[in-house]
Structure 1
Amino acid sequence: MPRFAANLTMMYNEHAFPDRFAAAARDGFQAVEFLFPYEFSAAELKTQLDEHRLTQALFNAPPGDWAKGERGIASLPGREDEFRRSVDTALGYARVLGNRKLHVMAGLIAPGQPRERHREVYLKNLTYATNAAQADGITIVIEPINTRDIPGFFLNRQDDAQAICAEVGAPNLQVQFDCYHCQIVEGDLAVKLKRDMPRIGHIQIAGVPERHEPDIGELNYPYLFELIDSLGYEGWIGCEYRPRAGTSDGLGWLKPWL
Structure 2
Amino acid sequence: MNRREVMSAGVAGAALTACASPNAGESITPEQYGKAFEGFAVNIESWWRDVPFEARFDLAAKNHFSHVEFWFIDSWDRKASDLAKLAGDAGVKVAQIVGDAPALAKPNVHGEFLDNIKRAIDNAKILDTDIVTITGHQDVEDVSTGDALKSYQDHFAASAELWEASSVYAAIEPFNPYDHPGHFINGHKEAQRICEEIGSPYIKMNWDLFHMQRHEGELIGNLRRGKDQICYMQLADSPDRHQPGTGEIDYKNVIRACREAGYTRPIGLELWAKDDNYARAREDIYKLATTL
Q: Give me the TM-score of the superposition, normalised by structure 1.
A: 0.91
SS at 1:175 equivalent? strand
Out of 61, 83, 88, the residue aligned to residue 50 of structure 1 is 88
Q: Does 1:23 align with 2:59?
A: yes
Tell me what 1:207 maps to: 237
1:102 aligns with 2:132: yes
TM-score, reference length from structure 2: 0.81
Distance in 2 (CA, whole Å) between partners of 1:228 and 1:74 is 30
What are the Cα deviations for residues 219-257 of structure 1, in whole angstroms up to 9, with x where unaligned? 011111122122221112000111122323321122242
Counterpart position of 2:41: 5
Residue 49 of structure 1 and its aligned partner are, at CA, apart by: 1.3
Indicate the RMSD between aligned Cα atoms, in angstroms: 1.7
Equivalent pair of 2:105/2:143 in contact (CA under 8 Å)? no
- Find the aligned partners of 1:140 and 1:78 in 2 and give their Cα distance: 20
Identity of aligned residues (%): 25
- Look up the match of 2:277: 246
**Structure-2 separation of matches of 1:163 and 1:176:** 14
1:10 counterpart letter in structure 2: S
Distance 2:179 2:236 in 1: 13
Aligned equivalents of 2:265, 2:106: Cα separation in 1: 30
Residue of structure 2 in register with 1:34 after alignment: 70
Larger Rg: 2
Alpha-carbon deviation of 1:132?
0.9
Deviations 1:170-224 (A, max 9, x none): 1111111111111111000010111111221111100110111122100011111
Instruction: For residue 59 of structure 1, report the CA deviation from its aligned partner.
Output: 1.2
Corresponding residue SS for 2:49: coil
Segments of 4+ moved more than 3 angstroms: none
Equivalent AA in structure 2 for residue 91 of structure 1 = I
| Equivalent AA in structure 1 for residue 215 of structure 2 | V
Mapped to 2, the partners of 1:222 and 1:24 lie a distance apart of 23
| Secondary structure class of the residue paired with 2:152 | helix
Residues 111-150 of structure 1: pairs in structure 2 closer than 5 A: 112-150=142-180
Structure 1 counterpart of 2:248, one-letter code: E
- Whether the aligned pair in 1 keeps the contact of 2:244 and 2:285 (CA below 8 Å) is no
Q: Secondary structure in 2 aligned to 1:102? A: strand
Letter aligned with residue 194 of structure 1: R
Query: Structure 2: any 5+ residue segments left out of the alignment?
Result: 1-35
Q: Is the 8 A contact 1:77 1:117 kept in 2?
A: no
Aligned to 1:10, what secondary structure does the other structure show? coil
Q: What per-residue deviation string (whole Å, max 9, x for no partner) do you get for residues 105-129 of structure 1?
A: 1321246522232222212211233
Q: What's the secondary structure of 1:57's corresponding residue? A: strand
Q: Secondary structure at the match of 1:135?
A: helix
State the one-letter code of the partner of 1:178. Answer: D
Deviates more, 1:135-144 or 1:123-132: 123-132
Number of equivalences? 250
Equivalent positions of 1:67-78 (< 5 A) are 73-78=103-108
AA matched with 2:82: E
CA distance in 2, matches of 1:130, 1:7: 27
CA deviations 1:39-92 (Å, max 9, x no partner) are: 22111111111112211111111144xxxxxxxx23333222221111111111
AA matched with 1:6: V
Distance in 1, matches of 2:171 and 2:106, equals 17
Q: For residues 187 and 86 of structure 1, what CA distance do their matches in structure 2 show?
A: 33
3-state SS, counterpart of residue 128 of structure 1? helix
Q: 1:60 aligns with which of 98, 106, 117?
A: 98
Query: 8 Å contact 1:74–1:126 — kept in the other structure?
Result: no
- State the distance in 2 between where 1:113 and 1:62 align: 21
Question: Matched residues in 2 for 1:53 and 1:76: separation?
Answer: 41
Higher relative contact order (CA 8 A, sep 6+): 1
SS of 1:251's equivalent in the other structure is: helix
Q: CA deviation at 1:11?
A: 1.2
- Asked if structure 1 preserves the Cα contact closer than 8 Å seen for 2:105 and 2:140, the reply is no
